[in-house]
Amino acid sequence: MRRVSYFVPHLHSMTELTFGITFVRHGETQYNRDGVLQGQTIDSDLSEIGLQQAEAAGRYLKDVKFHNVFVSSMLRARQTAEMILKHNSSCSGLPMTCDPLLKEVNFGIAEGGRMQDMKDMAKAAGQSFPGYTPPEGETQEQVKERFKKFWEKMLQQIQSEHWLDRGEGESAVAVTPEASPVEGKADDGVKGVPVHVLVVGHGAYMWVAMHYFVEELHCPLPEGFDKTRMFSVSPNTGLCRFLLTLRKDKDTVHSSGIHCVFMHRADHIKK
């Protein structure tokens, strides 16, 4: 895979760290139900159904251990994360880091309008949807750069908190990315993984992040998935999980392997 490097000073002599990361889209808002684009302008709260979805996600993940929690600074994501943390014993006392880098895509003049309106705008401009940028909105490239800033900052925090505190020469590797079988359980892929990160965000933003993983980190598609399904927008409180291996090389840390455990899982809201 293509090597993506991050400068990290003062590392100990360990060479690898494998960690899990679970992305969760926020629960439903009334704007979602009405087909209205919220973007960044409309900072809405969860609907009754959205609160139920967040509660269900929390109960589904209640026995899954997390070591770090990163959340979009927007209300709908914060409410979802708070509900997940409320049910999870491993998150007791764990700080929830709200980061504006995780905000939803800025849809420019299309915000507050209907999704169908933006699709019509894309068609009139002779462009595909998703991928179309309305006037005054963020381009896909700009959103990707925003995600990369978050990603690099998160990796810096992981190496600082979970790598540097280990003894000199102590291995930080617990599993290889493909080692844990997928059995349809909440902890698929993260059994025995030394670090597991929860990220709660937004549908269009996560869509861009998934493109980055596949196209730039060269993450293989999970079994049974084609690109159309991989790059669909996750449902409200849909779960996506990856395993990433970081390798130290002198004064840099780079990703040496990435594996998708599952995509768009919504077992908790189908029951």
Q: Which residues are catalytic?
A: 26, 104
Q: d(Cα 205, Cα 209) in Å, to the nearest integer?
A: 6
Beta-carbon contacts of 270 under 8 Å, excluding residues fewer than 6 positions away, are: none
In terms of phi and psi (left: phi > 0; alpha: psi -120 to 50; beta: otherwise), the region of 245 is beta
Q: d(Cα 123, Cα 221) in Å, to the nearest integer?
A: 29
Nearest to 222 by CA among 194, 241, 198: 241
